[in-house]
């Protein structure tokens, strides 16, 4: 069994996954892999996949679970055996969760899945603020509602599966960033 840490952050859009992944990375030195960042890299490569993927993401729809799993597995398999890693966003469907969890366990890596729990109104407020500051194309109010709906149709079931499997650590994602980070550190046993 490898001593490498594999941490996944899951939750609604704008639940703080990226922020907390970066804070954990700064504290530990572990690298961060963003599922959406990996998908955006595929968009930047051009070609037929790029066009379809950009259309899907800009409309606020989730990408197919096989594509998200592929992006995460590709990154996971490229890590050295002892490489600690943090995934920002994953397990958006049960199929994706099963595939990636099975791969991590097969590799014998330590597995920690942090669920940042945030109410829908907080999600909407955070995305509205992000839209003003970052201007992301996929942060339109219509796209946000589609992503929240997709969360309840797919990701909520994935989270229930992970909870049933005893793989989930639930953290309140509302509050000061540092306080949330301290709860995560405690859950991971990091001083």
Tell me phi and psi for residue 119, to 5 degrees.
Answer: -70, 155
- Let me know: does 185 contact 114? Beta carbons within 8 Å: no
Map out the domains of the chain with their CATH numbers: 5-186 (3.40.50.300)
The CA dihedral of 31, 68, 89, 45, to the nearest 10 degrees, is 60
Q: Rounded to whole angstroms, how far apart are CA atoms 148 and 138?
A: 13
Instruction: Locate 2 and state its tokens.
Output: 């490898």
> Residue 87 forms beta bridges with which residues?
8, 33
With cut-offs at 50, 70 and 90, classify the pLDDT of residue 38: confident
Rounded to an integer, the average pLDDT of 13-35 is 93
Q: Is the pLDDT of residue 108 over 60?
A: yes
Q: Is the pLDDT of residue 1 over 60?
A: no
Give the whole-number percent of the chain exceeding pLDDT 70: 98
Average pLDDT, the chain: 88
**Which conformational region is residue 119 in: left (phi greater than 0), alpha (psi within -120 to 50 degrees), or beta?**
beta
Render pLDDT for 122-178 as a digit per residue (tens, 0 to 9).
Answer: 999 999 998 889 887 778 888 889 889 988 988 899 999 999 999 999 999 999 999
Contacts of 8 (CB under 8 A, 6+ apart): 86, 87, 90, 91, 100, 111, 112, 113, 114
Give the containing element (helix H, strand E) for 95.
helix 94-107
Render pLDDT for 56-80 as a digit per residue (tens, 0 to 9).
Answer: 877 767 788 888 888 888 888 988 8
Helix (H, G, I), strand (E, B) or coil at 131: helix
């Amino acid at each position: 069994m490898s001593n490498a840490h594999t941490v996944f952050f899951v939750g609604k859009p704008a639940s703080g996954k990226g922020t907390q992944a970066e804070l954990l990375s700064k504290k530990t030195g572990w690298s961060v892999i963003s599922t959406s960042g990996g998908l955006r890299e595929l968009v930047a490569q051009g070609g037929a996949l790029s066009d379809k993927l950009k259309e899907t993401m800009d409309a606020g729809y989730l990408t197919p679970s096989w594509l998200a799993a592929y992006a995460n597995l590709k990154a996971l398999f490229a890590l050295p055996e002892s490489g600690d890693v943090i995934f920002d966003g994953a397990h958006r469907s049960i199929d994706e969760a099963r595939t990636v969890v099975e791969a991590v366990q097969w590799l014998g890596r330590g597995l920690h899945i942090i669920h940042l729990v945030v109410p829908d109104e907080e999600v909407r407020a955070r995305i509205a603020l992000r839209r003003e500051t970052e201007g992301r194309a996929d942060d339109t109010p219509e796209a946000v509602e589609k992503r929240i709906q997709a969360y309840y149709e797919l990701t909520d079931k994935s989270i229930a599966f992970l909870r049933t499997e005893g793989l989930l650590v639930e953290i309140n994602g509302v509050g000061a960033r540092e306080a949330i980070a301290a709860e995560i550190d405690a859950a991971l046993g990091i001083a």
